[in-house]
Structure 1
Amino acid sequence: MRNYKKYPNRRLYDLDNSKYVTIDDVRQSLLCGDSIQVIESSDGKDITRAVLLQILSEQEEEGHEAVLTNRAIEQIIRFYDQRFGRFVSSYIEQSMLLFLEHQDQYREQMRNLTNLNPMNAMRQAMDMWASAGGQNSTWESPNKESPNKEDPNKQKDED
């Protein structure tokens, strides 16, 4: 755990390394996997959450993609007025821990998805759906040759 003190002049002091740091230094510490605690120098109040929210906000201002959508933030704010706050907090934390546990698998799956040709991916999905009997499907992959298919260019013999 890295410990910081925030002074009234808005400067941050790294108590572990005995030096002043910037908010970006704190962010870099987080990216390295450190947990942090930030205490207000004037009254000893723990302001860690406020600093973490500031870092999130600055990330988005710098052009990074938002992790939390407006809709998600609005819903979180609404939970503060309900009695679900503790449940939601625990749920989000557990979901993040589970996501982190399987992060490498997710990355590999996403890498595989981005390498797929969209048409082949659609054909594979339709083939899987049809093989599962999806709506008693009559779907046949264009890649498969069917001996029962007639050549649409061939005219029928008239008797």
Structure 2
Amino acid sequence: MRVIRKYANRRLYDTQQSRYVTLEDLRHLILEEEPFRVEDAKSGEDLTRTILLSIIIEQEQGEGESEVFSNDLLAQLIRVYDMTSPLPLSRYLEQGTRLMLSQQKRMQNQWKQAVRNSPIEVMRELAEENMHFWKNTFNKTDQDAIEQDAPDSQDESPDEAESSGKTKSSDKNDKTPG
């Protein structure tokens, strides 16, 4: 696991790459599913959760329509913290988010397949499969007919032909009058 150290000056140092990193760099690590741990440089305290929350805040404040946490949702989350018996919200959100991400990946893969396989491409592939099937079918039928018409000696190996008393040389070259 990659270790990131946070110094008093609020700078983050990647010990694996020996360089300072930004929250954006850490966001990319998350997107690449690279595990890391952020720790305080002096005490060694785990600050990963705080840094992850900072990344979320940065994304929420960024430009565009990437807002995930509406004011109403944030207010509801604060109310959950104030409950006498808090709901197992963390586990529920983790599982729900995991499910949503896996479904999104599956949909993206299906979309890529659909784009790659335009209707014309799908029809072309089906036509090729059909042609391959029919060629194999006709070739097999022709081969079966040839094998049925051929003398039995062609099916035998040279050793089998000798043991049965038939040899190719005697069949073809023994045309001497007797």
Amino acid paired to 1:26: L
- The DSSP-based 3-state class of the residue aligned with 2:39 is strand
Number of residue equivalences? 109
1:25 equivalent in alignment to 2:18:
no
Q: Which residue of 2 aligns with 1:57?
A: 57
CA displacement at 1:25 relative to structure 2: 1.2
CA separation in 2, counterparts of 1:5 and 1:59?
Answer: 22
Amino acid paired to 1:13: Y
CA separation in 2, counterparts of 1:104 and 1:29?
Answer: 18
Taking CA–CA contacts closer than 8 Å with sequence separation of 6 or more, which of the two structures ends up with the larger relative contact order? 1
CA displacement at 1:18 relative to structure 2: 1.9
Contact 2:6/2:12 (CA < 8 Å) preserved in 1? yes
1:5 equivalent in alignment to 2:5:
yes
1:104 equivalent in alignment to 2:89:
no
Q: Which residue of 2 aligns with 1:74?
A: 75
Q: TM-score, normalised by structure 1?
A: 0.60
Q: Relative to total residues, which structure has the larger helix share, 1 or 2?
A: 2
Q: Which residue of 1 aligns with 2:86?
A: 84
Contact 2:60/2:69 (CA < 8 Å) preserved in 1? no
Matches within 5 A, 1:124-139: none
CA separation in 2, counterparts of 1:80 and 1:41?
Answer: 30
- The DSSP-based 3-state class of the residue aligned with 2:89 is helix
TM-align CA RMSD: 2.1
Deviations 1:6-29 (A, max 9, x none): 000111011222221122211121
CA displacement at 1:40 relative to structure 2: 1.0
CA separation in 2, counterparts of 1:34 and 1:77?
Answer: 30
In structure 1, runs of 5+ residues without a counterpart are 110-159
Deviations 1:101-132 (A, max 9, x none): 211345568xxxxxxxxxxxxxxxxxxxxxxx
Change (3 A) 1:84 1:100: same
Change (3 A) 1:104 1:30: closer
- The DSSP-based 3-state class of the residue aligned with 1:102 is helix
